[in-house]
Amino acid sequence: MSAHLLLAGCRIVWVLAALFAPEDAAAATYVVDDSGTIPYEAQAPTRWRTATGPNRQMSSEIEGAASVNVRLNVQPWQNRNGRIYLALPQQPIGVVNVEWATQGRLLPGKLQSGERTLVFAGPIRTAFLEDNLAVRVVADGRRVNATQRLQFHFEIDVD
């Protein structure tokens, strides 16, 4: 019985390792551990935008900005080629436009909710990728009745 138990245990471990250890996987997409990001939950105070419209309409869009020090743990894919994307799922408040500038380690860019945008491509030579992102978010203020939590994530495509 104990031998059976050991054998079964090894099989389970092997299955789990195949599922979760990306360095052993073929080309695939993985969520990147970004838990080192500071602040991990950033507050972006909003203000009304200033776009003009016909009949002296004022913009109904709000924008918020925050600075985020992103720290991505890419150690599982070290010494491999990868493409890392910043992604934001679709939001209940409608389209959210996001734009960010970087210090150069990651690529600046923009995206709409429901999309992802490339922020890094090439060989991964270090265990961590860090950069400071100046993030600006624009949303339809008519649909934002209360504080909304926009859950971003980074994902990596490895060859």
Partner 1 sequence: MNPGNPFPYSPSARRLVAGAGLVVAALLFPAHFAGAWVLSISAGPKALFLQVGNGSYSGTYQSGGTPLNNATINTVSVEVPASAVGTGTAQQMTSDSTQSVSFYDNFVVCNPPSQVYIGGWVRTPNGSGSGTLSVNSSSPMTSLTTGTQIPFTQISWTSTANGNATADIPAGSFNGATQALRVIAANTWVENCFTFFYANTTVVTAATYTGQVTYSLVLP
Q: Which residues bind partner 1 (CB under 8 A)?
A: 1, 4-5, 8-9, 12-13, 16-17, 20-21, 31-35, 37, 40-48, 50, 52, 55-60, 62, 64, 66, 68, 70, 135, 137, 139-155
- Residue the block writes with tokens 């860019």: 109
CA torsion sign for 18, 23, 24, 30 is positive
Pairing of strands 153-158, 128-140: unpaired
- Calpha distance 82→75 (Å, rounded): 12
Whether the Cβ atoms of residue 30 and residue 156 lie closer than 8 Å to each other: yes
Q: How far apart are CA 68 and CA 87, in angstroms?
A: 15
- Token readout for 43 is 């507050």
User: Kind of pairing, strands 115-123 and 46-48?
Assistant: unpaired
